[in-house]
Structures are given as structure tokens and as C-alpha cells.
Amino acid sequence: MPALTLERLVASIGFGSRKEARALIRAGMVEMDGEVVDDPFVEFKARPETIVVNGEEIPTVEKLYIMMDKPLDVECSHNARDHQSIYSLLPDRFTAMGLQSVGRLDADSSGLILLSNQGDFIHKVESPKKGYLKKYRVTLAREFTAEQKAELLKGVMLKDERRPVLARELSEERIVIDGEEKDTVVISIGEGLYHQVRRMFAAVGNHVMTLSREAIGPVTMDGSLGSGGWRFMTEEEVTSLTK
């Protein structure tokens, strides 16, 4: 294995090609331990946890696992058409590192979204074989009746689908949203079909007004992030989805 040089390290965390990383280093833009390092070919015996690039302390992780509280009117696409892209809320270098969303949330939905540049991780989380439940909190346009609840738990047919889909878990809660008490429904599903939750409630005669994802399998939204906030996932969170 080639020696880990500073230019390789800088390039590996999204600062361009090795040639571009070399130019950045020679321009005096990289620091370690409070000192500017302008030699691109400095070698490391062990990968440092952080380096400073252009005045910003940067973790040197290559494998990205990220949790975000996705805001409304943001698209989970690198080529957003009608709204801001989710990737614009993250450092540009993450895109250069191949970051992708794990599944998607529509522009009119908010809440938990995971992102990674590790294909195996994305595949495992998205795979129906893993059976990770996805939990959503919704507000509805009309009263949620016992009959509607029973239908969703039994299973409903959606247009263009071959088999019924059902709510794996379903509960009602009254919580404070934007300073106002509102009745909400918490629903967990096992699939990830297009507009599935909205279509399920429409199938029983109701209409989803707001929708926010709160959990994917054992990983729940970090309430401290705030809309548009993000953080690296913990090792425990990553492991819980890959074991």
C-alpha cells in the first residue's frame, strides 16, 4: 500500500485531485498542530484525526455516514429542479467524496435523512430484506377515525401496486407544533414506495397535511440538530444498521 502522504490525505477528504491537493498545500493552506505544512509529500505512520484546511478544522474520515434533519422545500437530488438541493446544506467536499442520500424524502416532507458514500451501507439500509421500519409523524386534514385506523393496520391497495401495504405500527398523539397543540398520527411502514404514507391515508379517505420522518430502524432523529442541521452518525448508529 502506498505511503499516506499529506497530498493523498487532503485529496481523500474531498479537496480535489492529488494535483489540486498538492497546489493547496504548497499555497500554505494546510496546517497541522498549529503549524503550516507546505510539503505535500510529508508521510504519516497513522492517519491524523483532523487537519486544518483554509482555517477550518476538518475531520479526516473517508467513509461518510451523516444524519440530517431535512427541511421542507429541499430536494434529495444532486440535480434539484424546483428547490434547493439537500447537498447545498453540506460542505462541497462531501459531493466530491461521492455522498448520496439513503433513500429519499420528498420536497414537501421533512425530518430524518441519512447520507453516505458507502455503497454497502446504502444497500443494506434500503434493502427490503433488512426490513427496517420507517417511522413518520403526520398531521391530517380530517378527523382520524377508528375505521381508518383499522383499514391501515389491515392493509390497503395503492394504485399500480401488486399487493396491499399496511401500517406496521400506528398511534395517535397530541403534541405542540409551532407553539400550538395538534393531533398527530405516528405511522411505521416497512416499504419505501413513492409517496407511500400520503397515498395510504388518501386510500382510507383522509389527507396528509404535514409529514416528518422520525426514525429509520433503530436510528432516531437527533432533536438537537434543528431544521437543516446535520452531524456525523455515531459508530453505534452505523453498527445498528449494518449488523
Rounded CA separation 49/144 (Å): 51
Rounded CA separation 151/155 (Å): 6
Rounded CA separation 181/194 (Å): 30
Q: Confirm if 15 and 95 have CB atoms less than 8 A apart.
A: no
> What pLDDT does 180 receive?
80
106 an active-site residue? Answer: yes
Mean pLDDT of successive 10-residue segments in the chain (243 residues)? Answer: 89 94 96 94 93 94 97 93 93 94 94 97 89 95 96 95 94 84 92 93 96 97 96 97 90
Give Cα 116 to chain centroid, integer Å: 8
> What pLDDT does 192 receive?
86
Tell me, what DSSP letter sits at residue 98? T
The secondary element (H helix, E strand) that includes residue 152 is helix 146-154
Place of cell 394504485: 159
> How confident is the model over 3-48, as pLDDT tens digits?
899 999 999 999 999 999 999 999 999 999 999 999 999 999 899 9
Rounded CA separation 77/135 (Å): 22
Q: What is the pTM of this model?
A: 0.90
> What pLDDT does 1 receive?
65
Choosing from 106, 108, 160, 183, which is the catalytic residue? 106
